[in-house]
Amino acid sequence: MPDSMSTLIVATLALTLVQIWLLPMVLKNKHFAYLLSSREEEIETTPLMRRVDRAKINLQESLPAFLTLCLLSMQMGVDNLQLATIWLVLRIVYVPLYMSGGSYIRSFAWMGTVACMILMAMNLV
């Protein structure tokens, strides 16, 4: 478990880097020329790549709110570290669940992340 909210934010940003850059790069490695290009043309993608893209978009949608809650927690001196850690763990679990195509368990993980953010917000008011 991270020992501070700052450490957790850095870990969250590392997850973001993996999800937004590393996973797509690895999955598109057979299209190396595309990765080096200006990407004017679309390449054929697999169902796995499309699931990775949707998981990435989902993270991008929730990340600003989560980081805002973390920063407000730090500024206001509210201990939301445990909830933020649970959020991060659920987000880490969410990626392979989405990649595997599992819908129900993945949805429960997503609902858990939303619940964590709601509880974090409630602790701030």
Which pLDDT does position 45 carry in this prediction?
Answer: 78
| Average pLDDT score over residue span 41-47 | 76
DSSP string, 23-72: HHHHHTGGGHHHHHS---S-----HHHHHHHHHHHHHHHHHHHHHHHHHH
Cα dihedral 59/62/68/74 (nearest 10): -70
Q: Which long-range contacts (CB under 8 A, 24 or more apart) does 99-103 make?
A: 99/48, 99/51, 99/52, 99/55, 101/47, 101/51
C-alpha to C-alpha distance for 13 and 67, rounded to whole angstroms: 9
Q: How confident is the model at residue 36 (pLDDT cuts 50, 70, 90)?
A: low
Q: Summarize pLDDT for 8-25 with one digit per residue, the tens.
A: 999 999 999 999 888 888
Which domains, and CATH codes, for the chain?
A: 5-124 (1.20.120.550)
**Average model confidence (pLDDT) for the chain?**
89
For residue 103, pLDDT beyond 90: no
